[in-house]
């Protein structure tokens, strides 16, 4: 009985500490959000969104024939896009895979996402996952690069940090989707090793500040509402202003 009472007391103590410290944790997150200086969005980044109008025209994304993505890639390439991040998981085979792979190979600038699932305890600095959801092999081979699309919200549900690297259980390291896109944009191969030195990773001749788990603090200060935007349905139909992506 004594041991039960002691354990109950310890549990109550931790609950009390959590209740006391939680407001300070939230305040600290809020204060850290105020450190960033508002900046205009980059005109070199164009968001192509699968919006309600696109879904009304083509139906559920999971049921789309992949020739639609091939058509979008052809149209963006014709418009002069330097790198295309097709942020859609393509993990299952489809009858149109060869059509899409051909469009990707012709464009030669497509970055595809993968995601890690089932996080594992590890002594490695990179966040490690037991499983990897990778693109279909033919599409992976046709892509210019692969990057992970994993995100980790803070306790308040907001995503403030992006792991620039993750690792799978076999030891394979994947850069963040945005890192893979940048290297493709500048026609630079991804590093063979990612060396953390003085709290920074050197990527494309720049030192990028990260924490001990290779996480970058994201600057959300840009006014994304004014970012260049095109509906994905308009891209598929080639009904958009090409100068936006040239």
C-alpha distance from residue 154 to each of 26, 94, 164 (Å): 10, 36, 17
Distance in angstroms (rounded) separating the CA atoms of residues 22 and 29: 11
Distance in angstroms (rounded) separating the CA atoms of residues 219 and 240: 29
Which pTM does this prediction carry? 0.85
In order along its 246 residues, the chain shows pLDDT tens digits of 544 444 444 455 445 444 544 555 667 766 667 777 777 878 889 999 999 999 999 999 999 999 999 999 999 999 999 999 999 999 999 999 999 999 999 999 999 999 999 999 988 888 999 999 999 999 999 999 999 999 988 888 888 899 999 999 999 999 999 999 999 999 999 998 898 889 999 999 999 999 989 999 887 766 777 788 999 999 999 999 999 998
């Amino acid at each position: 009985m004594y041991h039960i009472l002691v354990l109950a007391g310890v549990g109550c103590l931790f609950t009390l500490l959590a209740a006391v410290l939680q407001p300070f944790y939230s305040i600290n997150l809020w204060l850290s959000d105020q450190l960033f200086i508002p900046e205009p969005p980059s005109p070199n980044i164009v968001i192509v969104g699968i919006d309600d109008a696109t879904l009304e025209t083509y139906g559920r994304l999971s049921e789309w024939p992949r020739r639609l993505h091939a058509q979008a890639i052809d149209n963006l390439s014709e418009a002069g896009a330097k790198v295309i991040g097709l942020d859609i998981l393509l993990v299952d085979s489809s009858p149109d895979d060869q059509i899409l792979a051909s469009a990707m190979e012709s464009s030669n600038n497509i970055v595809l996402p993968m995601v890690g699932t089932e996080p594992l305890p590890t002594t490695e600095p990179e966040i490690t996952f037991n499983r990897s959801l990778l693109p279909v092999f033919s599409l992976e081979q046709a892509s210019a690069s692969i990057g992970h699309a994993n995100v980790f919200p803070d306790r308040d549900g907001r995503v403030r940090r992006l792991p620039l690297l993750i690792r799978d259980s076999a030891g394979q390291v994947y850069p963040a989707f945005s890192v893979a896109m940048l290297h493709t944009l500048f026609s630079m191969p991804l590093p063979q090793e990612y060396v953390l030195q003085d709290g920074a990773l050197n990527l494309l001749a720049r030192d990028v500040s990260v924490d001990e788990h290779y996480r970058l603090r994201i600057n959300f200060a840009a006014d994304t509402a004014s970012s260049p935007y095109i509906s994905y349905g308009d891209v598929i139909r080639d009904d958009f202003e090409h100068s936006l992506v040239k």
